[in-house]
Amino acid sequence: MNDPMAGELQALALAHAGDAAATVQALGTLRAIWGEALPDNTHWLARVTRQLDRIDRLGMLAALAQLQADLDDA
């Protein structure tokens, strides 16, 4: 993939690997990617952090299954 921000994004992701909250704080607030509204939305940041933590702990497929179960229960 040819992304002009690839180096910056990779460096931030590697610097915070294994720490979902720090990763979302670093990557989730990049206004160049997310615009003006999402980086200020604490509810969105918390949900993204929760899902990234779930992916880290369970793996992608299990995290998706859990998300689907959460949505089914809602």
Q: Count of CB atoms within 10 A of residue 7's CB?
A: 9
Domain boundaries, the chain: 17-73
Return all residues near 2 (Cβ < 8 A) that are at least 6 apart. Answer: none
Asked if 23 and 17 touch (Cβ cutoff 8 Å), the reply is yes
Nearest CA-CA partner of 60 in 52, 69, 71: 52
pLDDT confidence of residue 58: 96
Verdict on whether the full-model pTM lies above 0.85: no
Which residues of the chain are modeled with pLDDT < 50? none
pLDDT confidence of residue 29: 84
